[in-house]
A and B are shown apart, each in its own frame.
Chain A
């Protein structure tokens, strides 16, 4: 490829990225402004910068901003996790949801809450361990999927079925643990069933953000070693990429990203599937820009989904995960059917 062409592509990607970022900012502001009482955007900006009256401060800083920030972080992490999984499995149908990673992470959290709570429903250890529990669950799930599928993992569709079976088992155990533990309070249970951003608080966001920074740094470091095009295993080894170990590293990173999203927000389906597709479509194939794009698109999707449930179902709190599922299901079916035609 000529350098000039590559540069042109890159700048087109950058342009699209800036466009996505603009949408992202608008949606995030709208997410804060919209609610049972509308707060004009200029006043939102004022409050965030430290002004505004007491009521507005409480509404924005304590109620709305946490859920928007949580949606950004969780949606973004899911988007990047999906991007990495699709890249490394060379499988556009792969995502944390269908590979059982989301349900594995949710099981990790529910086990953590059930086993480490005392009689009065208080945790006996720091809540900061919750993402660790989620990560252990996520890693266990993805490891099981790949170990059990063995050589069948190279078949895009068969791999998904292993993921779905693992997810079903994890989901069933999660259900039992919710009934066992003191966490069986229905409002909270909904979080682990469908994923919701409405109950997240600043402490939880802080933990997520602190953990997310080094993980994303590692992702960008690893990204430079991702095969530039869709290399098969032999050619990748030919250009000096040590695939098996590298693959494991990428799987671990995507599992940890998923776990960070799931730890406080619950399982949000389909963002990990759709965000990378949309990002690739908009910003092209450059990897670094693709990762940034997946993060932003994922964040836009979850903030948008949360806005939709707030608009449609106010004053009720419907989990945002239901919106992503309702939109994501037809999309996934479309992909499946298209694949069915092109590959027999």
Chain B
């Protein structure tokens, strides 16, 4: 299948997933009701639910999923490691810690402020993990992941300390910390999307350089790729993508681990197409996981992060068993 056809097909599937996200849930609505709520809002219960509750998450899930999917591609290429991802390297946890710290200790409440804190947290964590890896004299892929996971655990512990000292926010934050698209205001999507877009553009601008970087440093250097600059920009892009995603929805786990594998299978190793496919696949994955999260403990609602964590954990096991890493 040619690339454009593949991407069109994915876009159609994404549209279907978003419609499913609008219609399915505790109450099931028809497409006509969805259409009416979006075009001729009449404050009936159905319209309020669709426009105020379903629509924000139907828009947020794809944005977050796309960001994490692209971040996953960048991380895996940069570390030449098929089991690396924003989660397994601890970036999600670092971003989450930064958000909790900023909102409880520093009193930051604006979405822009939290997004920046979140991106900064992801960036510092990335530098820390790669720094430790570099000082230890080139850690194997597996060892980098162990470092990342361990640091993620540390951040979880620190978040725990902050949460127990601010009990009022515990309940609310507990759900957010699992990763969720529920009850997010539309403004969050509107504020987070531009940051995501900047990250995506940066990532896209790196596509050709990443193709060269894929093999090894010497080859890339021989091809005239400015390694330091490319790495720095890639780190920035990863931080913006992960940071915005975490600020919007909390650390939705393992999306960045799973999606790049699927993207590579569909479109191959070239980074331009890989990033495009990862964005669409990530969007589809997050949206469908969000729909699924409404039904696993029906009538209650599970955090979408729990759903993606189970799927991602199983995929990680499969990768390990196939010795992909």
Give the interface of A toward B (CB within 8 A): 148-150, 152, 157-158, 160-162, 164-166, 168-169, 171-173, 175-176, 179-180, 186, 189-190, 193-194, 269, 313, 316-319, 321-322, 325-326, 329, 332-333, 336-337, 339-341
Contact = CB atoms under 8 A, between A and B. Distances in A.
Contact of A168 (B175, B316, B323): B316
Given A329-B154, A337-B132, A341-B137, A318 B164 contact: yes
Contact of B164 (A150, A161, A190): A190
Nearest to B157: A325
List 3 A-B pairs, minimum CB-CB distance, nearest first. Answer: A172-B309, A325-B157, A169-B313
B143 interface: yes
B296 interface: yes
B150 A176 contact: no
Nearest to B302: A176
Of listed B139, B153, B303, residue having the most chain A CB within 10 A: B153
Chain A residues touching B, majority SS: helix
Nearest to B172: A186
B181 to A, nearest CB: 15
A341 to B, nearest CB: 6
A157 B143 CA distance: 7
A337 B136 CA distance: 5
Given A179-B297, A194-B160, A329-B153, A148 B317 contact: yes
Nearest to B165: A316
A190 B142 contact: no
Interface string B194-226: 000000000000000000000000000000000
A276 B146 CA distance: 20
Contacts of B309: 168-169, 171-172, 175
Contacts of A149: 320-321
Contacts of A175: 178, 303, 305-306, 309
Given A180-B300, A318-B165, A322-B158, A169 B150 contact: no
B160 A336 contact: no
Given A176-B302, A340-B136, A341-B136, A165 B317 contact: yes
Contacts of A317: 164
A169 to B, nearest CB: 4
Interface of B: 83, 132, 135-137, 139-140, 142-143, 145-147, 149-151, 153-154, 156-158, 160-161, 163-165, 167, 170-171, 174-175, 178, 253-254, 296-297, 300-303, 305-307, 309-310, 312-314, 316-317, 320-321, 323, 325
A290 to B, nearest CB: 25
Nearest to A316: B165
B3 to A, nearest CB: 33
A190 B151 CA distance: 20
B321 A148 contact: yes
Contacts of A186: 167, 170-171, 174
B154 to A, nearest CB: 4
A269 B136 contact: no
Contacts of A321: 157, 160
Contacts of A172: 253, 305-307, 309-310, 313
Given A148-B321, A179-B302, A157 B157 contact: no
B153 A269 contact: yes
Contacts of B310: 169, 172-173
A336 B83 CA distance: 18
Contacts of B145: 161
Contacts of A329: 150-151, 153-154, 157
B251 to A, nearest CB: 12
B200 to A, nearest CB: 27
Contacts of A319: 160, 164
23 contacts: A158-B320, A161-B146, A161-B325, A168-B309, A172-B253, A175-B178, A175-B309, A179-B302, A180-B297, A186-B171, A190-B163, A193-B156, A313-B161, A313-B164, A316-B167, A318-B160, A318-B161, A319-B164, A322-B157, A322-B160, A325-B153, A329-B153, A340-B140
Contacts of A160: 146
Nearest to B178: A175
B306 A162 contact: no
Nearest to B317: A165
A336 B313 contact: no
Contacts of B323: 152
Given A168-B253, A169-B314, A269-B153, 16 more contacts: A157-B140, A162-B317, A162-B320, A175-B306, A176-B302, A189-B174, A190-B170, A316-B165, A318-B164, A318-B165, A322-B157, A325-B153, A332-B150, A333-B147, A336-B147, A337-B135
A266 to B, nearest CB: 11
A176 B313 CA distance: 15
A333 B132 contact: yes
Contacts of A169: 309-310, 313-314
A245 B241 CA distance: 49
A279 to B, nearest CB: 22
A150 B314 CA distance: 16
A94 to B, nearest CB: 12
B7 to A, nearest CB: 31
Nearest to A270: B153
Of listed A162, A176, A332, A339, residue having the most chain B CB within 10 A: A176
A157 B137 CA distance: 17
A61 B312 CA distance: 46
Of listed B146, B254, B307, residue having the most chain A CB within 10 A: B146
